Amino acid sequence: MARDRQRRGRGGWLIGLIVVLALLWIGYWFLAHYAAQTALAKLTVPRGQTQVTCGATDVSGFPLRLDVRCDSPAYADGTAVNASIGTVRATAPLYLPGSVSADIDGPLLVNAPGHDIGLTVTWTSARANAKAGFGGIDGADAAFTTFHAENTGPLPKLGIVGATAETAGGGFASAGGGSYRITADATHLALTDASRTLPPIELALDATANSVGDLGFHPEPAILAWLRGTPSVTLTNLRLAMSGAVVTASGNLSLSKEGKLNGTLLLQYNSSAALADLIEVLKPGTRDKYAPAIQALGVMSKPVNTPDGQALQTTVSFLDGIVFLTILPLPIDPIPPIHF
């Protein structure tokens, strides 16, 4: 009998503990639910000429997650910038604090007449993820399928009118010390300028933006301050495949206060002829102009084996925008200053 009472006592304590934990979890969910609703309300409060709006909203997901839906969110900044997008459905598992994923419906519309931007972006599917801690954003990424973007005119400085890709994605993650790893990729990427569409491009990037600083929950000021200072980037791998040419690069690059490029890259390319063809595609009519530079590259390159097959490898350096092979400047125009 005594043992039966002990068992019933232990069972009662266990049931009581489960009930308490369940009540705490329910309280936790409703607190998160309230915080999400409050954040949505604050987000849509006008700040001067800046206004963020949501159509219908919904917060659900009990008991394990928080699901937030915002229909047709839009951003307006007086007459300078206006943007809108389709429905955003975000999910935050409450057992993984700081982790959020979202499905995003297009189209994305961005209008900034003062910057010659009238952009329409569509896709078949889009998925985004973000991670944050108490100090701010730690990383984010997004992936798109059947991506299409079109501007009403050439984008400033880029001259691009439109872009399509079978898949496209990118993201960033903390690399420690205020630095961030940046990745991007695209398959069958086709860019259109005012007069033509370039051949499809396969692109992959893995780099680290050095000493950006803490992003907090509003990363724009930190990123702009970094870009407008003396930004430094470590390229782990940059791969471009286009028009029969395969070019990869790794190394370190930085900008001076005047925006002049400095650094050193380990450059690999599949052949001098393919590189000449690529330059001609990018800048029609320049094959003869850059022939001496390509010939110099070939002389200073050595054959190597790569995942893409046999290639040529050399080291290229940049000093205030002037391109060097060892100590000899390449016979090409200096790279103009880059300003943000």
Give tens-digit pLDDT for 270-326.
999 999 999 999 999 999 999 999 999 999 999 999 988 999 999 999 999 999 987
The count of other CB atoms within 10 Å of the CB of residue 137 is 19
Best CA proximity match to 259, nearest among 182, 318, 330, 179: 318
Answer for the pair 201, 189: CB distance below 8 angstroms, yes or no. yes
Helix then strand then coil, in percent of the chain rounded to 5, is: 25, 50, 30
Give tens-digit pLDDT for 147-180.
999 998 787 777 889 999 999 999 999 999 999 9
Amino acid identity, position 18: I
Written as six digits, the tokens of 89 are 């459905």
Query: Is this prediction's pTM over 0.75?
Result: yes
For residue 12, the model assigns a pLDDT of 67
For residues 11-25, average pLDDT:
77
Residue 338 CA, distance from chain mean position: 20
For residue 217, the model assigns a pLDDT of 79
Domain membership flag for residue 68: yes
Answer for the pair 83, 117: CB distance below 8 angstroms, yes or no. no
With bands split at pLDDT 50, 70 and 90, how would you rate the model's confidence at 5? low
For residues 236-247, average pLDDT:
97
Answer for the pair 105, 124: CB distance below 8 angstroms, yes or no. no
Q: How far apart are CA 215 and CA 175, in angstroms?
A: 13
H or E, element range at 274: helix 272-282
For residues 111-125, average pLDDT:
89
With bands split at pLDDT 50, 70 and 90, how would you rate the model's confidence at 49? confident
Domain membership flag for residue 125: no
Is 60 exceeded by the pLDDT of residue 33? yes
Domain membership flag for residue 64: yes
For residue 13, the model assigns a pLDDT of 74
Domain membership flag for residue 132: no
For residue 20, the model assigns a pLDDT of 83
Domain membership flag for residue 265: no
For residue 256, the model assigns a pLDDT of 97
> Mean pLDDT: which of 59-63, 97-101, 147-151 is highest?
147-151
In terms of C-beta density within 10 A (0-12 exposed, 13-18 middle, 19 or more buried), how is residue 46 classed?
exposed
Amino acid identity, position 247: V
pLDDT > 70: percent of the chain: 96
Instruction: Output the average pLDDT for the chain.
Output: 89
Q: Which domain holds residue 57?
A: 1-96
Written as six digits, the tokens of 153 are 């005119």
For residue 179, the model assigns a pLDDT of 97
For residues 208-221, average pLDDT:
90
Written as six digits, the tokens of 218 are 């509003």
First to last CA, the chain: 81
Domain membership flag for residue 266: no
Is 90 exceeded by the pLDDT of residue 209? yes
With bands split at pLDDT 50, 70 and 90, how would you rate the model's confidence at 10? low
**Which range (66-70, 186-190, 253-257, 328-332) has the least confidence?**
328-332
Is 70 exceeded by the pLDDT of residue 3? no
Three-state DSSP string of 3-48: HHHHHHHHHHHHHHHHHHHHHHHHHHHHHHHHHHHHHHHHHCCCEC
Amino acid identity, position 39: A
Written as six digits, the tokens of 303 are 């054959």
Give phi and psi for 241, each to the nearest 5.
-120, 125
What's the total number of domains in the chain?
Answer: 1
**Which range (22-36, 140-154, 213-227, 241-255) has the least confidence?**
22-36
pLDDT > 90: percent of the chain: 62
Domain membership flag for residue 71: yes
Domain membership flag for residue 24: yes
